[in-house]
Amino acid sequence: MPYLKRMPAIADMRDLIFYNRGRYKHMDAFTQNVLRGPSELSPKERELIASYVSINNSCIYCTGVHVEVAIAFGVETTKIEALKNHDFVAFEPKFIPILHLVKKLTQTPSKVVQSDIDAMVVVGWNEQTVEDVIAITALFNYYNRMMDGLGIRGSQFLYDEAGVILAKRGYKFPSIVVWFLKKAGWKRE
């Protein structure tokens, strides 16, 4: 149950971003750019990172949504389970330094050091990708704290639905608005 009385019993992101559009509208473009804009990382890999940040923070809502988006992009459930156990053996060696950085930046950000960055570069990631990983991690630490701070938990139905729509359409606001309106029963005439 959300902590704010204005929110419905099963609240979701819509109940936050539509209520105060002026405050949250700027996050749409940033989220779209970080998760779907140009990057050496595929959208699948970026959603996997978003999922791992949320798993580290035990954010029920963001874990539920972004695990489903990652699965919609083809991430195997065995890899999701491995992330939940902080077991990186199932991942390609090149991706493991990313997961180490994500975990450290999420759990102990002040302890990130040059060698954490170097570990990514040594295996072949460029500096822009390092910045992309840090941006995704920072963004999802923000979203996790918003959802948890407001008591937003969502539901499996919402996670499944969001997983499909966000994988197909990304985080462009008009696409999300149509999805939320349809969810609320709106039909185009």
Residue 13 buriedness (CB in 10 A; 0-12 / 13-18 / 19+): buried
Whole-angstrom Cα distance, residue 79 to residue 47?
12
Give per-residue pLDDT as tens, 88-112.
Answer: 999 999 999 999 999 999 999 999 9
Residue 173 buriedness (CB in 10 A; 0-12 / 13-18 / 19+): middle
Residue 181 vs residue 137, higher pLDDT: 137
Whole-angstrom Cα distance, residue 5 to residue 92?
45
pLDDT of residue 20: 84
pLDDT of residue 101: 98
In the chain the domains, ranked by start, together with CATH numbers, are 42-167 (1.20.1290.10)
Q: Residue 63 above 50 pLDDT?
A: yes
Q: Residue 188 above 70 pLDDT?
A: no
* pTM for the predicted model, two decimal places: 0.91
Give per-residue pLDDT as tens, 113-160.
Answer: 999 999 999 999 999 999 999 999 999 999 999 999 999 999 999 999
Whole-angstrom Cα distance, residue 119 to residue 22?
40
Mean pLDDT across the chain, nearest whole number?
92
Closest CA to 158 of 4, 17, 11, 20: 11
Whole-angstrom Cα distance, residue 120 to residue 115?
9
Residue 13, both tokens: 């992101």
Whole-angstrom Cα distance, residue 55 to residue 150?
18
Instruction: Assign 40 to helix, strand or coil.
Output: coil
Q: What is the 3-state secondary structure (H, E, C) of 113-169?
A: CHHHHHHHHHCCCCHHHHHHHHHHHHHHHHHHHHHHHHCCCCCHHHHHHHHHHHHHH
Which DSSP symbol is given to 111?
G
